C-alpha cells in the first residue's frame, strides 16, 4: 500500500520569503503525485501534478515542485510568498495503471507573517 507523509503540520514564513513544504511518499509501484491547496472554508484546488518527464513541475500561483525518485519526495516550493498564499496544502499520491484511490497527506498549514 502507498502512503504520504507531510513532515510539517504548520509552517510560518515571512511575506516575500521563500518557502518549502515537504512531502515524502511510499509505494512499491510507480505513482502519480499531486499538490492541492485549500483556502479557508473552501474545497481543494489542484496546484500541480507530476505524471512523467521533467522532474521539476510548475503549477499555478508561482508554485513548483520537484520529484525525486531516489528520495521518494515531492517537495513544494515558492521563491517569494504573498499573504494570499495563506492556506492548507495537501500532498497526494495515486498508483499508476491501477483502479485505485488517491491517498492524501494530512496537510501543511502555511502561515504568512507580515
Distances from the Cα of 109 to the Cα of 13, 31, 91, 112, 113, angstroms: 11, 24, 12, 10, 13
CA angle (104, 108, 112) in 5-degree steps: 150
Binding flag, residue 105, other proteins (CB under 8 A): yes
To other proteins, the closest distance from the beta carbon of 80 in angstroms equals: 26
Applying the rule CB under 8 A, the residues between 54 and 93 that interact with other proteins are 90, 92
Q: Helix, strand, or coil here: 60?
A: helix
How big is the site for other proteins, counted in residues (CB under 8 A)? 27
To other proteins, the closest distance from the beta carbon of 39 in angstroms equals: 10
Interacting residue ranges for other proteins, rule: CB under 8 A: 9, 32, 34, 36, 41-46, 49, 51, 90, 92, 94-102, 104-107
Amino acid at each position: 500500500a502507498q502512503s504520504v507523509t507531510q513532515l510539517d503540520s504548520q509552517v510560518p514564513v515571512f511575506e516575500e520569503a521563500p518557502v518549502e513544504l515537504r512531502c515524502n511518499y511510499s509505494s512499491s509501484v510507480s505513482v502519480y503525485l499531486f499538490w492541492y491547496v485549500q483556502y479557508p472554508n473552501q474545497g481543494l484546488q489542484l496546484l500541480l501534478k507530476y505524471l512523467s518527464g521533467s522532474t521539476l513541475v510548475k503549477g499555478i500561483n508561482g508554485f513548483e515542485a520537484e520529484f525525486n525518485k531516489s528520495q521518494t519526495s515531492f517537495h513544494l516550493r515558492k521563491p517569494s510568498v504573498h499573504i494570499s498564499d495563506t492556506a492548507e496544502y495537501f500532498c497526494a499520491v495515486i498508483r499508476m495503471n491501477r483502479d485505485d484511490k488517491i491517498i492524501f497527506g494530512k496537510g501543511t498549514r502555511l502561515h504568512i507573517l507580515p
